[in-house]
Structure 1
Amino acid sequence: MLKEFKRHIDQNFPFLRGNSILLACSGGLDSVTLAYLCKQLDFRITLAHCNFNLRGEESNGDEAFVRNLAADLRAGIEVKSFDVTEYIKIHVGSVQMAARELRYKWFNELLESGRFGYLLTAHHADDALETFLINLSRGTGIDGLSGILAQNGKIIRPLLPFSRIHIGSYAQVERLEWREDSSNLETKYLRNKIRHDVVPGMKKMHPAFLDSFIRTQNHLKDSVRLLEGIVTETRKRIFVEQEDRCSIAIAELEKLEPLEGYLYALFNAYGFSEWDDVKGLLSALSGKEVRSRTHRLVKDREHLILTKIKDRGEDKVTLIKDLANLSVPIPLKFETVKTHQKTNANVIFVDKEKLNYPLLLRKWQKGDYFYPFGMRGKKKLSKYFKDEKIDVVSKENQWLLCSGDDIVWVVGRRPDERYRVDDDTQNILKISLLV
Structure 2
Amino acid sequence: MEKAFRNLIKSRFPYLGGKKLLLAVSGGVDSIALAYLCKNAKLDFSIAHCNFNLRGEESDADEDFVIELADELEVEIFTQNFDTEAFAEEARISIQMAARELRYNWFDELSRTLGFDYVLLAHHANDNLETFLINMVRGTGLEGLSGIHAEKETLIRPLLDFSRKEIENYAEQNQIKWREDSSNSSTKYLRNKIRHEIVPALEELNPQLLQGFKQTQSYLKESEALVEDYMSLIYPKAIQKNQFGYELDINFLKKIPNTKAVLYQLLKTFGFTEWNDVYNLLEAQPGKMVFSEEYRLVKDRGKLLLTEINHPEDKLYQIAEGEEMVMLPMGRIAFAEVDKIEKDQEYSRIFVDARKLQFPLTVRKWQVGDFFCPFGMKGRKKISDFFKDKKMSLPEKENTWLLCSGENIVWVIGHRADDRYKVTSETAKILKISCSF
**TM tier, shorter chain?**
over 0.9
Say yes or no: does 1:392 pair with 2:367.
no
Q: Within 5 A, what are the aligned runs for 1:37-116?
A: 37-113=37-113, 115-116=115-116
Report the counterpart of residue 224 of structure 1 in structure 2: 224
- Percent pairwise identity: 48
| Paired letter, 2:396 | S
Q: Within 5 A, what are the aligned runs for 1:19-418?
A: 19-113=19-113, 115-309=115-309, 315-329=315-329, 330-342=331-343, 343-418=345-420
Residues 311 and 108 of structure 1, relative CA distance in 2, 3 Å threshold: farther
Q: CA deviation at 1:27?
A: 0.7
Q: CA deviation at 1:373?
A: 1.9
Report the counterpart of residue 435 of structure 2 in structure 1: 433
- Alpha-carbon displacement from aligned partner over 1:325-374 (angstroms, at most 9, x marks no partner): 11122211111122221241112111101111111101111222222222
Larger deviation: 289-298 or 239-248?
A: 289-298
- Alpha-carbon displacement from aligned partner over 1:13-43 (angstroms, at most 9, x marks no partner): 2222222111111011001111111122222
The CA distance in 2 between the partners of 1:19 and 1:372, in whole Å, is: 67
Larger deviation: 141-150 or 304-313?
A: 304-313
Where 1:349 maps in the other structure, the secondary structure is strand
Larger deviation: 54-63 or 131-140?
A: 131-140
Q: CA deviation at 1:383?
A: 1.9
The CA distance in 2 between the partners of 1:105 and 1:366, in whole Å, is: 44
Q: CA deviation at 1:306?
A: 1.3
Contact 2:244/2:396 (8 A) holds in 1: no
Q: CA deviation at 1:312?
A: 7.3
The CA distance in 1 between the partners of 2:41 and 2:71, in whole Å, is: 17
- Alpha-carbon displacement from aligned partner over 1:45-102 (angstroms, at most 9, x marks no partner): 1211111111111110000011111111222211111112222322233322222222
Larger deviation: 207-216 or 85-94?
A: 85-94
- Alpha-carbon displacement from aligned partner over 1:231-278 (angstroms, at most 9, x marks no partner): 222221110122341111222223343333222222112221122332
Q: CA deviation at 1:206?
A: 1.8
Q: CA deviation at 1:310?
A: 6.3
The CA distance in 1 between the partners of 2:296 and 2:42, in whole Å, is: 48
| Paired letter, 1:214 | K
Q: CA deviation at 1:430?
A: 0.8
Tell me, which stretches of 5 or more residues in structure 2 are unaligned?
none
Residues 65 and 310 of structure 1, relative CA distance in 2, 3 Å threshold: farther
| Paired letter, 1:417 | D
Larger deviation: 42-51 or 248-257?
A: 248-257
Larger deviation: 412-421 or 1-10?
A: 1-10
The CA distance in 2 between the partners of 1:158 and 1:3, in whole Å, is: 13
Where 2:283 maps in the other structure, the secondary structure is coil
The CA distance in 2 between the partners of 1:11 and 1:374, in whole Å, is: 74
RMSD (CA atoms): 1.8
The CA distance in 2 between the partners of 1:36 and 1:314, in whole Å, is: 60
| Paired letter, 2:284 | A
Residues 103 and 323 of structure 1, relative CA distance in 2, 3 Å threshold: same
TM-score if structure 2 supplies the norm length?
0.94
Tell me, which stretches of 5 or more residues in structure 1 are unaligned?
none
Residues 18 and 244 of structure 1, relative CA distance in 2, 3 Å threshold: farther
| Paired letter, 1:245 | G
The CA distance in 2 between the partners of 1:278 and 1:118, in whole Å, is: 39
TM-score if structure 1 supplies the norm length?
0.95
